[in-house]
Chain A
């Protein structure tokens, strides 16, 4: 299945991927409202790691043998038919075990309500995840390997 892969040699650390991920997961899906009017603010599911000149984006790798799926107590973390790892907030009890086992640190806490978790969902409803679309330097690619 297609996944998002980072290309370190052309990542410029601009963090536009983070911004657009946030907007995509906001209520209004409008960049100004998402940042200035929504409280609590939506969560971005991608994060840029940087130590100049190295920088690259980290998000859920949708591992074929996902440790988070194995560790999840309630089955909130599961794999769908294509192989993507999806998080079901209704089932999540906020034990944060998945955060501890994720080797990429790609899952984060979501303290906005039930204190559960959040992670990359490959932008359901979009043909291409928005981080890939908005990267100005093609440092994120959406492909099958």
Chain B
């Protein structure tokens, strides 16, 4: 049937600047631009444009502009926005489930922007991180309530054995991004950057490509509902194992890798046939209640000989605090909570945009609940879901997180423009694609440098903010909500976040 949906973008080519060099023609993986030899000019088929901005960035004369197309718009933009109308039309044309990529773009409140930080003045000196030691080192894992020390007069020695810990030089890890959702080169870059920065990356549910086994000491492997790639080697090589119960972008449903992206190497790593959709089941079919989770946690601990921390990742949902408490008591060493802004390679739009809660509220609730129950030390908390900058991270740590997971910001660092078309497998930036000529577009040397730079820049900024608060060790900020104040929040929101309003 004829489609009533106009192109989403309008392409503006400045004729005075265009030199018909055809760089845009070659860079566009959606075949939007084409060179017309007769006219000696480059033309564009706007209906195919996804607004990924690749051509704009690569055009050597900056002759291109790509803007959202609001034509024809409905008069009622207050209720029926263009996106809402287009989605109805799309479903009328296909009868299918609308898919999208990356995190939700709905204007839910961003609580980070309603919290401000303290600085020390007069009564307490601020600390200059360029001249004084400033410690960001963080250990993730289960900690006992107290230590048993054998006190011999001159030389006390430790009797308690500490549960296995992950040692981070910065409180930032790369979140789960599956090999399959992204290309091999992206995985290699995250692995190399984690090693360089002294932190960890997460395989997501794509399994671990054999060439990356060498980075095992910096790798957290994920055991998700599809159990892709899970075998003995996988567990042996890793530094920690994460059971993925859910993710912030699509709480309640499993991962989704469209068949177009399941190539030979993906098939080998995930242990599934080439070209088949890899749709993970919604629940783990062996975890229907909390005691089943405890069984899996201990099965993994046995399989890894109790030498590696076991993490459980959940999406932030209404009951997050109670669920988290259950997970800690079930034996998890680390809990990761992923908020509604979390990203994905493919998810139904309606789920991505409507299911889940913001990480700020979930984190505050979980941290407080675990403290109320006296079990906060039994598991470290990693917060995830749309961290944009180092201030978001500092605020998360002040609310109670031990560390944060970043994914969208990491992909943006290596070129992603958040066009939300990851599920097509044609990412012109070379990130969420398996097509070899596109995969080349991520040079792991460059991407590793970009990721390490990002972590380094953020670490320096975190140190500046800590120093400003008169703190020289990050454990003094962790859960220290008195360094936060709320601006423009309701009493209930302040209460849930556990912070005072600015002015008090």
Direct contact of A and B (CB under 8 A): yes
A interface residue numbers (CB < 8 A to B): 9-16, 19-20, 31-32, 35-36, 52-53, 55, 134, 136-139
**CB nearest to B22 among chain A residues:** A15
Query: Shortest CB–CB separation between residue B450 and chain A, in angstroms?
Result: 12
A13 to B441, CA, bound (A): 9
> A138 touching B446 by the CB < 8 A rule?
yes
A55 to B446, CA, bound (A): 19
B26 on the interface (CB 8 Å rule)?
yes
> B23 touching A15 by the CB < 8 A rule?
yes
> A32 touching B437 by the CB < 8 A rule?
no
User: What are 16 of the A-B contact pairs (CB < 8 Å)?
Assistant: A9-B440, A10-B443, A12-B27, A12-B437, A19-B19, A19-B60, A32-B16, A32-B17, A32-B19, A35-B19, A52-B437, A53-B436, A53-B439, A137-B441, A138-B446, A139-B443
Contacts of A55 in B (CB 8 A): 437, 440
B21 on the interface (CB 8 Å rule)?
yes
Contacts of B23 in A (CB 8 A): 14-16, 19
16 new A-B contacts at CB < 8 Å, known A13-B26, A16-B23: A9-B440, A10-B445, A12-B430, A12-B440, A13-B437, A14-B58, A15-B21, A19-B21, A19-B23, A32-B19, A36-B19, A55-B437, A55-B440, A137-B440, A137-B446, A138-B443
> B440 touching A53 by the CB < 8 A rule?
yes
Contacts of B27 in A (CB 8 A): 12, 14
Contacts of A12 in B (CB 8 A): 27, 430, 437, 440-441
Query: Shortest CB–CB separation between residue A43 and chain B, in angstroms?
Result: 15
B276 on the interface (CB 8 Å rule)?
no
> B19 touching A136 by the CB < 8 A rule?
no
B114 on the interface (CB 8 Å rule)?
no
A32-B61, A35-B21 as given contacts; A14 in contact with B443, CB under 8 Å: no
**CB nearest to A22 among chain B residues:** B21
Query: Shortest CB–CB separation between residue B2 and chain A, in angstroms?
Result: 33
**CB nearest to B449 among chain A residues:** A138
**B interface residues, tally (CB under 8 Å):** 22
Contacts of B446 in A (CB 8 A): 137-138
> B437 touching A16 by the CB < 8 A rule?
no
> B60 touching A16 by the CB < 8 A rule?
yes
Query: Shortest CB–CB separation between residue B426 and chain A, in angstroms?
Result: 14
Contacts of A32 in B (CB 8 A): 16-17, 19, 61
> B19 touching A137 by the CB < 8 A rule?
no
A15 to B17, CA, bound (A): 18
Contacts of B21 in A (CB 8 A): 15, 19, 35
A124 to B322, CA, bound (A): 70
Contacts of A15 in B (CB 8 A): 21-23, 26
A-contacting residues, B433-479, CB 8 Å: 435-437, 439-441, 443, 445-446
Contacts of B19 in A (CB 8 A): 19, 31-32, 35-36
Contacts of A11 in B (CB 8 A): 440
A10 to B189, CA, bound (A): 14
A25 to B374, CA, bound (A): 73
A-contacting residues, B13-37, CB 8 Å: 16-17, 19-23, 26-27
> B443 touching A137 by the CB < 8 A rule?
yes
Contacts of B16 in A (CB 8 A): 32
Contacts of B58 in A (CB 8 A): 14, 16, 136
> B445 touching A31 by the CB < 8 A rule?
no
A16 to B445, CA, bound (A): 20
A13-B437, A14-B23 as given contacts; A20 in contact with B60, CB under 8 Å: yes
> A10 touching B440 by the CB < 8 A rule?
yes
A139 to B20, CA, bound (A): 23
A55 to B26, CA, bound (A): 12
A138 to B430, CA, bound (A): 15
Query: Shortest CB–CB separation between residue A100 and chain B, in angstroms?
Result: 29
Contacts of A137 in B (CB 8 A): 440-441, 443, 446
Contacts of A36 in B (CB 8 A): 19
Counting from the closest, the 7 A-B pairs by CB-CB distance are: A35-B19, A53-B436, A53-B437, A10-B443, A52-B437, A137-B443, A12-B441
Contacts of B435 in A (CB 8 A): 53
A13 to B21, CA, bound (A): 13
Contacts of A134 in B (CB 8 A): 60
Query: Shortest CB–CB separation between residue A138 and chain B, in angstroms?
Result: 6
Contacts of A20 in B (CB 8 A): 60
Contacts of A136 in B (CB 8 A): 58
Contacts of A53 in B (CB 8 A): 435-437, 439-440
A12 to B440, CA, bound (A): 6
Query: Shortest CB–CB separation between residue B77 and chain A, in angstroms?
Result: 38
**CB nearest to A11 among chain B residues:** B440
Query: Shortest CB–CB separation between residue A10 and chain B, in angstroms?
Result: 4
A19-B60, A20-B60, A32-B19 as given contacts; A14 in contact with B440, CB under 8 Å: no
**CB nearest to A30 among chain B residues:** B61
A15 to B26, CA, bound (A): 9
